[in-house]
Amino acid sequence: MSKSLVIVESPAKAKTIERYLGDNYVLRSSIGHIRDLPSGTIGVNVKDNFKPLYVNMPGKEKIVRDLKSQAEKADRVFLATDPDREGEAIARHLAHILNLDPYDSIRISFNEITAGSVRKAVEEPRPIDMDLVNAQQARRILDRLVGYELSPLLWQKIRKGLSAGRVQSVATRLIVLREREIEAFVPEEYWLLSAYLRREAKEKEFFSRYHGEVEEGKVKAHRPGSHEEVSDLIKDIKSHDFIVDEVKKGSRQRKPYAPYTTSTLQQDASRVLGFTAKRTMRAAQQLYEGVELGASGQTSLVTYIRTDSVRVSQSSVEAAREYIKLKHGADYVPDKAPFYKNKKAAQDAHEAIRPSHFDKAPEDLQDFLTRDQFKLYELIWNRFISSQMKAARYSTLRVDILSGTHLFRSNGENLLFAGWLKQMGLLDLPSQVQKDADDVVSLDMPELKKGMKLLLDRLEPEQKFTQAPGRYTEASLIKEMENLGIGRPSTYAPTISTIQDRQYVEREGRTLFPTELGILVNDLLEDNFRNIVDTDFTAQMEERLDNVEEGKEDWVKVLSDFYGPFHEQVETAKTSVEKIEIPDEPTGRKCPECEEGELVIRMGRYGKFIGCDRYPECKYTETIFEEAPAKCPLCASQVVFRKSKRGRIFYTCDKSNDKDCKFIDWNLPIDGKTCPTCGSYMVERNYRGRKSEMCSNKDCPSRKKTTKKTAKPGTGKVKKAASGKEAAGEDQE
């Protein structure tokens, strides 16, 4: 009986595909890349058309032997790696190792791992797409050249262990530029003025906000800029009656969002779930490769997860429409399916991210999925289903009220038809009243008519100041990178992880800010390698790599055009750039080990630390802990901040190093406060930017809506892993 060998990247993907192909197919996985540039040398011959020197990756010997053995036994070999540049490059390296002709029909690819897609792909194999391979190869070599030439310069001019990268350096610069904006920002004062009005003395009041002045029939928007100005304004307003000038009723639609791309999925997972980009892609990869679903076996739940396209297949649209009809009723199915247009730069090689099986709703699979998998699958499911539903409809109301020439305005709206909001669970959002917003939404308004005279209850001025731009979050940084054309769907998550791993950027809560080291490195690159950190230049390079993928440009020419000028800049900088000294910060303490040196704060590879200024003669060091605003609930000593290996903040007692106290918690303890239910200490929980108090004892009934367990008093000593997992939405990496 003839056998065919099918090679994929991961065991999970192999197990999923195996279900659909039967006994005539043998599945194997390469466990990612099988060949790469060497780690010890540059591995690129810049004098010979940038010829790469690929080597088999260390640790892959056993895998290579097995693949060769299986290929020799097989009648046919199919390379079923992921359908993108990276997957095509892996397929090319596999072909090299197994002595397969890349121009033979050995490559199969599919956007979703379903029975129909996999079987169709096997029936329609194709040659390896060398344009895709060359695009990946050009990117890999480009990044290697930048890293191998710039990093030694940073070691020489700043300190050892630093690195620079083509995309990571631009991402770091964006964060540095935002920090400069924040530091340079000068707040400007302005005032809001609200009038609380009634139709009659006994009726409920409503409010309207001062909007500006009416001059010769035209509205001129204005905001008072000082206390004096708003005081004069109030005096004049009080001398006039309040008369309804215009009541404008209307309607509006709120259309659903397009299905997810990689970027928008990462943004929403950050905003809604509190996931890092890395955590999002890890869970998404698992959902794509396949999850064990009991009797259903290993099943892929979503389409390919690296895409910048919002296009979806006609079959998926039809399946979604049928689901909507059964779930919500025919009224929620639009006459014509919505169409979503791709951005100009989108590659459109793959569909948007959507469910693969429409008979597998999230609520039916909760017992089979991890918490991260379930939350992300629910997000993807709801986004796609809602994208195929009717728009939500609102009735709108705008009321203009005049006091002399002073215009007050109220805006309101009511939900008439939920449409896609019903699937998303957002029905309560339109009813919220935002009194503190400049664009007022006021829903509790009586019936008003033009010319009606109103009673003034009171005028409330409120001082405000313009706000500095906010620091980037992972979500907003990804959005900015996408808007600027920097990086591609597969690079957002690793780029953000890299700049944090390199200690160029730190994460506090959800916001990203540059470290002193990140600012130093960025300044050096800005002054001497403007192209490397220039957003336009980087976007143009991404466009040229896309042209290579489409067969429009030669990959060697793309590298040649870049490397010549870049190499000259590096050589010039070696002599022209002065070494940057990072001064040590004195602590005012003597070294306890040698008793001669002074302890100073230094910047090391993994951040700041305390060390002896007589190094290397004396190698004494201390870890720096920042004091937290709390005392240890177990021994009353000082609580300090610490960071896990993955950068997450947790809290310990300052005596924990001496093993005198075992207190440790992901959440900050609240001084002197105990749980009224079980007596354990209380902690401050920061969830999605909102702070709340909760009991530290994870078994306390106060932390569970329903429980049969009874918490034991005083058991608030929380284990590191257990207490961390309680913080839903926090990064559990």
C-alpha to C-alpha distance for 490 and 140, rounded to whole angstroms: 13
**CA 415/CA 431 separation, integer angstroms:** 8
Q: What is the CA radius of gyration of the chain?
A: 31
Strands (E), 120-270: 189-198, 206-215, 218-221, 242-254
In terms of DSSP bridges, do strands 4-8 and 76-79 run parallel, antiparallel, or are they unpaired?
A: parallel
- Neighbouring C-beta atoms of residue 503, cutoff 10 Å: 21
DSSP single-letter state for residue 448: -
3-state secondary structure of 650: strand
78 close to 5: Cβ distance less than 8 angstroms: yes
Amino acid at 146: V
Residues 6+ apart with CB under 8 A from 38: 53, 55
Q: Which residues contact 188 (CB under 8 A, 6 or more apart)?
A: 225, 465, 466
Q: What amino acid occupies position 680? A: S
Q: What SS3 state is found at 265?
A: helix
DSSP 678-696: T-PEEEEEEETTEEEEEES
Distance (Å, whole) CA 386 – CA 390: 8
End-to-end CA distance of the chain: give it in Å, rounded.
47
Does 304 qualify as catalytic in the annotation?
Answer: yes
The residue type of 685 is R
Counts for the chain of helices (H) and strands (E), in that order: 20, 29
Q: Which residues of 21-43 are buried (b: 16+ CB within 10 A; e: fewer)?
A: beeebbbbbbeebbbbbeeeebb
Active-site residue (options: 54, 304, 394, 651): 304
Nearest Cα residue to 618 out of 604, 597, 589, 600: 597
Provide the residue type at 155 as one letter.
W
Cα separation, 317 vs 684, whole angstroms:
45
Of the candidates 727, 497, 282, 583, the residue with the CA atom closest to the CA atom of residue 506: 497
Burial 627-644 (b: 16+ CB within 10 A, else e): ebebebbbeeeebbebee
Secondary structure letter of residue 713 according to DSSP: T
Closest CA to 694 of 706, 707, 678: 678
Say whether 148 sits in a helix, a strand or coil.
Answer: helix
Apex 347 CA angle, 497 and 283, nearest 5:
40
Preceding peptide of 616 cis, ω within 30°: yes
Q: Is 604 strand, coil or helix?
A: strand
The residue ranges of DSSP E strands in 166-241, in sequence order, are: 189-198, 206-215, 218-221
Distance CA 278, CA 266 (A): 9
Whole-angstrom Cα distance, residue 295 to residue 367?
A: 13
Paired sense of beta strands 690-695 and 585-590, if any = unpaired
Element (H, E) at 44: strand 44-45
* Whole-Å CA distances, 25 to 4, 69, 111, 312, 438: 5, 15, 20, 30, 64
CA distance linking residue 89 with residue 130, whole number of Å: 9
Active site residues: 304
